[in-house]
Amino acid sequence: MLAVGVHLSACGSESIADVAPPAGAPTEDAVPVQEDAVSDGATTLYEDALGPGWVDWSWATRNLAATSPVASGTRAVSVTFGPWTGLYFHHTGVSTTGLEFLELQVHGGATANPALTAYATVGNQARPTISINRYCDGGAIKAGAWTRCRVPLTALNVANDTLDGIAIQEGAGRSLPVMTFDSLRLGSATLPAPGDVKAVASASDVSLTWNTVSDATGYHVYRATSQMGTYTKRTTAPLTNTTYRDTRVTAGATYWYAVTAVGTRGEGLRSAPVSATVQSPQSSGEKWVSGYYTGWNADLYPPEKVDFSALTHIIVGRVTPRADGTLDTRFDNDNGPHIARTLAQRAHAAGRKAIIMVGGAGEHAGWVAAASNVNRAKFVQNLLEAMDRFGYDGLDIDWEPVEEADKPNLLALVRELRAARPDMLLTFPIGWINTNVASDADPWFANLAPYLDQINVMSYEMIGPWDGWQSWYTSALYGESGNRPTSVSSSLQGWARAGIPKAKLGMGIPFYGMAWRNITGPYQRFTSWADYVGSDNAFTYRKIQQLSASGTYRWDAVAAASYLTFTTPVEDGTVRWISYDGPQAIAAKGAYARDNGFGGTIIWTLNQGCTNPTTGANPLLDAVKDAFLQ
C-alpha cells in the first residue's frame, strides 16, 4: 500500500467560514464550467472506464463498471470505503504542465459530506495529503446527489511536474456506505481572469484584492479559495475593489488563491489564480517559540499571567494515552481542564496557537497499546475530540522513548492524524545527539517530517556523570568533543543531515538549571553518581536567582554557556556549581537559529522561568522574545 502524504503548509486548525447569504438569496448549485477542450489522453483517469495508460491499484472495495448512479455516460466507479482505505489509479507518468486541477464527480450515497482526502504520487512517492471536501461545489459532498470537486494541482504539490498516481482515501477512520465517482480527469480553465486580482503577503497575513465585473445578471457569487478553506461573498451586484484579508497563515508558507465570479445561472464564469508567500521567518527575524506549560506546577506561573507576546505557540501538558485508546485529560492538576481551557482562550485572544502535550516520559506503555493497529482508529478520534473539547489547534506527540518496534505504529499514527485533520498542528520532541554515536541521528525520523509542523530537539540535561565524560553544561550551544560529545548545534546539524528540514527543527531551552556537588565547574572528571544534586522542578530560575547572590556568574565563550560557581557550597551545603541558560546564552541561541535557518525553540518549562507569580515576571521568557521574535 502506498504511503499517505501530508499537507505541507503549516496552517492553523480553523477553516475560513463561508459568509451566510442574505435572506431570500438563491442557493448555490454546481455550475457547469465552459472550457476549451482537453485531450482525452492521459489526462482522463476515468470516463466509463479507466483512461489510456491508467491502471487500478486501489485498496478499497470497488466496482469500476457500476451502472447506477452515473454522472455521465453509462458507467461509474462505486466504492465501499473502510477506515483509511482508498482508490488509487496509477500511470507511468503524466505531465501536468499547463494543467490546473483534478476534477471529479462524487455521489455521496447515504452519507452527507463524508471526509475524503486525496494525494498524488511522483516517482511512486506520495505528495501532500489534503481534504477534498473544501474543493467541492458548495464546500461539501452531497448525500443522494452528484457534487463536482476540483482539487488544485498546487494544493497536491504536483503543478508543472510529472505525476504517476492519484489516490482518493477515506479520511476519518470510518467505514462508509457505498458511494460513487465519475468523470475523473486532469483539467485547466481557460476563461479570462476577473479584473485585476492581487495578493500581498506580510509576516502574518495575506491581503487579497480583486476588481471583478461579471457578465451575468442578477445574483452573483464571489469566492476566494485557498489551502485554508473557502471565503464566499454573495451579492446582488458585481463587486469592485473587494479586499479579503486572510490572517490564518504561517510565516514561510506559500498560499494560492483562486478567485471566481459566478452568475446565478452559471454564465460568465471567470477565474483568477494568484499566490503569495508569507514573509519567511528568515527574512522577518521571527522564529517559533513553543513554550510548555505544565499542570503540576501551575502555581509557579498562574495561567492568567502567561505573557503571550513572547510566544507563538503554547504547549499545555498534559494528557496521557491509556492502553485502550482513551485519554486521561486531567492535565496533571485537580483544576487541569479549567487551566487548559483558560490558556487556549488566552492564546487565541492574543492571536497565538495552543497545542496539547500528549504523553511524556513514563508513558511508553500507553503509547504502544493506544497506537496499535487494534486501537489506533479509536485513539485518533479521542485525540481529535480532546482538541475540540478544550479548544486547541494541535497536538504534541511526546512519545518517549521511540523503540525500534514502535516505529511503524508511530508513523501510522501521525499519518492518520494528518489525514483526519489536515490543517491541525502536529509537533514532536526528539532527543539530542551524542556525536560519538552515529545511530543517535536515526534517519528513520525523517519519515515523520512531512506530517509534522515542528520537530523540536530536547536539548537540555545534555550531561550526566557517565563514565568517560567530563562535566559539561545542561545546554551548551557549541564545544562538543570526544569526552563532552554533545551540544545544541551538533544535535541540530546532526538531525538536519539525517534528512529533517532545518525549517522544521527547533532547539530546546531549559528554564531551570542542573546543580552539582564534589566538582567545581565544567571540564572536570566526575567522581560518582553522587555528583548530581538536581535539575528539572528542583532548580527553577527563581531559585537560581536567589542562590546567585552568594555565587559568581561565569560565561564560557567557547560553549556559549552560562553558569554559577560557589566558593561556599549552597543549597544542601554541597552544591558548588549550577549550569543553566541565562539571557546571554539565550541571545546566542536566537542568533544561531537565525543565522543557520532553523525553525525556532521550545521552552521547558514556562512555569519554571517565572520569578514572581503575583506579577508574572519571567525574565528568561523576555530574553527568548528578544532573541527569537524581534
CB 210 within 8 A of CB 270: no
> What pLDDT was estimated at residue 21?
27
Domain boundaries, the chain: 44-187, 196-279, 282-511+582-629
Measured in whole angstroms, how far is the alpha carbon of residue 454 from the centre of its chain? 7
> What pLDDT was estimated at residue 305?
98
Q: In CATH, which superfamily holds the domain spanning 196-279?
A: Immunoglobulins (2.60.40.10)
Report residues of the chain scoring pLDDT below 70: 1-41, 189-286
User: In sequence order, what DSSP letters do the residues of 315-367 get, joined into one string?
Assistant: EEEEEEE-TTS-EE--TTSTTHHHHHHHHHHHHHHTT-EEEEEEE-TT-HHHH
Question: CA 60, 62, 65: angle at the middle one, nearest 5?
Answer: 160
> What pLDDT was estimated at residue 139?
77
> What pLDDT was estimated at residue 133?
87
User: In sequence order, what DSSP letters do the residues of 401-461 get, joined into one string?
Assistant: S--GGGHHHHHHHHHHHHHHSTTSEEEEEE----TT-GGGS-GGGGGTGGG-SEEEE--SS
Q: Is the peptide bond before 318 cis (omega within 30 degrees of 0)?
A: yes
Strand partners, 263: 220
> What pLDDT was estimated at residue 297?
96
How far apart (Å, rounded) are the C-alpha atoms in residues 319 and 384?
12
Alpha-carbon torsion (326, 361, 602, 447), positive or negative: negative
CB 414 within 8 A of CB 422: no
Cell of 340: 487548559
CATH code that applies to domain 44-187: 2.60.120.260
Q: Is the pTM of this model over 0.75?
A: no
Helix (H, G, I), strand (E, B) or coil at 595: helix
How far apart (Å, rounded) are the C-alpha atoms in residues 334 and 356?
17
Cα torsion at 8, 11, 15, 16 (round to 10°)? -110
Sorted by sequence, the CB contacts under 8 Å of residue 435 that are 6+ apart come out as 480, 485, 486, 490, 494
CA distance between the termini of the chain: 46
Check: CATH 3.10.150.10 for 282-511+582-629?
no
Strand partners, 146: 107
For cell 498546487, the residue is 154
CB 143 within 8 A of CB 111: yes
How far apart (Å, rounded) are the C-alpha atoms in residues 401 and 122?
33
CB 102 within 8 A of CB 91: no
- Kind of pairing, strands 313-321 and 288-294? parallel
> What pLDDT was estimated at residue 41?
53
For cell 505573557, the residue is 307
Cell of 455: 520537530
Helix (H, G, I), strand (E, B) or coil at 245: strand
- Kind of pairing, strands 425-430 and 454-457? parallel
How far apart (Å, rounded) are the C-alpha atoms in residues 435 and 469?
13
CA distances from 74 to 47, 61, 185 (A): 9, 20, 17
Measured in whole angstroms, how far is the alpha carbon of residue 252 from the centre of its chain? 13
SS (H, E, C) 55-67: EECCCCEEEEEEC
How far apart (Å, rounded) are the C-alpha atoms in residues 415 and 371?
12
Strand partners, 206: 201, 246
CB 7 within 8 A of CB 388: no
How far apart (Å, rounded) are the C-alpha atoms in residues 189 and 36?
8
- Kind of pairing, strands 425-430 and 561-570? unpaired
Q: Which residues of 474-492 are buried (b: 16+ CB within 10 A; e: fewer)?
A: bbbbbbbeeebbbbbbbbb
- How many CA atoms, within 13 angstroms, populate the side-chain half-sphere of residue 448? 30
How far apart (Å, rounded) are the C-alpha atoms in residues 231 and 33?
20
